[in-house]
């Protein structure tokens, strides 16, 4: 009975999942999988005059790099280009305005936390919540709390803005290698997010394509590293030689 009640409550909520390039490309990998898995439809885009002019072509259709998708009560905003620090608040304000307009009740952001030497068997996802109701959600899904650390860039802008507007926000930080695309860690992020959304997922296809995905996304990872380097100069501006 409790499970059915929880499922009905989840269906009544409007949830936004938000992902953009960062450590290990966790946000981008995770959102891409969920969007494809749920067969979410594009319902809009986010544009900014200072973004680099970029479009993608999929099945003959031209689409922008920052897109809004929807399936029933679940919305998704995915960026496939890095968000530079100068644009982080503009990007956040656009997301915030979308949430207010569409009466979003809950925002979930899958992201990555630096853990260069973590064994794939020890990958964990930690939660950072701005609202007690989301801490309860973490407890129900066995997600340990993110205890201490420094958060910069777009992650920080989103946390600050949504906390100030009192819109419940949960950031899911999955341990990953920060300098490489990390689809292996993303699998853990996907399964954690799926539990929260109460959907079933099959990640076997990602498992088969881990090496391919690392190679396919290496240019995006380098662009992301360059962006992060601007925000935190102590980071290496280039990936280690083995990556190149």
Asked if the structure places residue 239 within a domain, the reply is no
- Local structure of residue 145 (DSSP, 8 states): B
| Residue 149: strand, helix, or coil | coil
Asked if the structure places residue 127 within a domain, the reply is yes
Asked if the structure places residue 94 within a domain, the reply is yes
Task: Give the CATH number of the domain where residue 16 resides.
Answer: 3.40.50.10900
Number of domains in the chain: 1
Residue 78, pLDDT above cutoff 90: yes
Q: Percent of the chain scored above 70 by pLDDT?
A: 77
Containing structural domain, residue 162: 2-231
Asked if the structure places residue 79 within a domain, the reply is yes
Q: From 1, 51, 65, 22, select the one nearest 235 (Cα to Cα).
A: 22
Residue 183, pLDDT above cutoff 50: yes
- For residues 21-42, average pLDDT: 90
Q: What is the pLDDT of residues 198-214, one digit of tens each?
A: 998 887 776 655 554 55
Instruction: Assess contact for 95 and 142: CB atoms under 8 A.
Output: no
More confident call, 193 vs 61: 193
Query: Angle at Cα 124 formed by Cα 31 and Cα 237, nearest 5°?
Result: 70
Instruction: Write the secondary structure of 2-50 as one string of H (helix), E (strand) and C (coil).
Output: HHHHHHHHHHHCCEEEEECCCHHHHHHHHHHHHHHHHCCEEEEECCCCC
Q: Which residues pair with 109 in a beta bridge?
A: 171
Asked if the structure places residue 60 within a domain, the reply is yes
Burial 162-174 (b: 16+ CB within 10 A, else e): beeeebbbbbbbb
Asked if the structure places residue 242 within a domain, the reply is no
Region at 29 (left for phi over 0; alpha for psi -120 to 50; beta for the rest): alpha
For residue 233, the model assigns a pLDDT of 47
Tokens of 235: 């980071």
Q: From 199, 232, 170, select the one nearest 73 (Cα to Cα).
A: 199
More confident call, 138 vs 204: 138
Maximum CA pair distance of the chain? Answer: 55
218 membership: H or E segment, kind and range: helix 218-231
Threshold 0.85, pTM exceeds: no
Distance of alpha carbon 197 from alpha carbon 186, whole angstroms: 16
Asked if the structure places residue 240 within a domain, the reply is no
Give the dihedral sign, CA 55/53/44/217. positive
Provide the strand spans (E) within the chain.
15-19, 41-45, 56-58, 61-63, 66-71, 74-79, 106-114, 125-129, 169-176
Asked if the structure places residue 208 within a domain, the reply is yes
């Amino acid at each position: 009975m409790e499970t059915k009640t929880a499922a009905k409550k989840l269906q009544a909520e409007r949830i936004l999942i938000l992902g953009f390039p960062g450590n290990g490309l966790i946000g981008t990998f995770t959102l891409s999988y969920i969007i494809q898995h749920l067969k979410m439809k594009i319902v809009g885009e986010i544009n900014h005059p200072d973004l680099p002019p970029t479009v993608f072509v999929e099945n003959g259709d031209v689409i922008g790099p920052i897109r809004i998708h929807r399936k029933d009560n679940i919305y998704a905003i995915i960026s496939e280009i890095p968000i530079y620090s100068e644009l982080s608040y503009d990007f956040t304000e656009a997301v915030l305005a979308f949430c207010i307009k569409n009466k979003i009740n809950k925002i979930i952001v899958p992201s990555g936390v630096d853990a260069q030497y973590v064994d794939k068997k020890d990958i964990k996802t930690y939660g950072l919540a701005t609202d007690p109701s989301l801490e309860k959600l973490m407890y129900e899904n066995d997600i340990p709390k993110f205890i201490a650390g420094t958060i910069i860039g777009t992650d920080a802008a989103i946390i600050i803005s949504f906390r100030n507007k009192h819109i419940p926000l949960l950031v899911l930080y999955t341990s990953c290698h920060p300098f490489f695309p990390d689809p292996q860690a993303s699998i853990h992020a996907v399964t954690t997010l799926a539990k929260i959304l109460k959907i079933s997922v099959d990640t076997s296809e990602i498992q088969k394509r881990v090496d391919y995905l690392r190679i396919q996304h290496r240019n995006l990872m380098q662009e992301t590293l360059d962006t992060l380097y601007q925000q935190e100069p102590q980071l290496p501006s280039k990936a280690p030689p083995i990556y190149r």
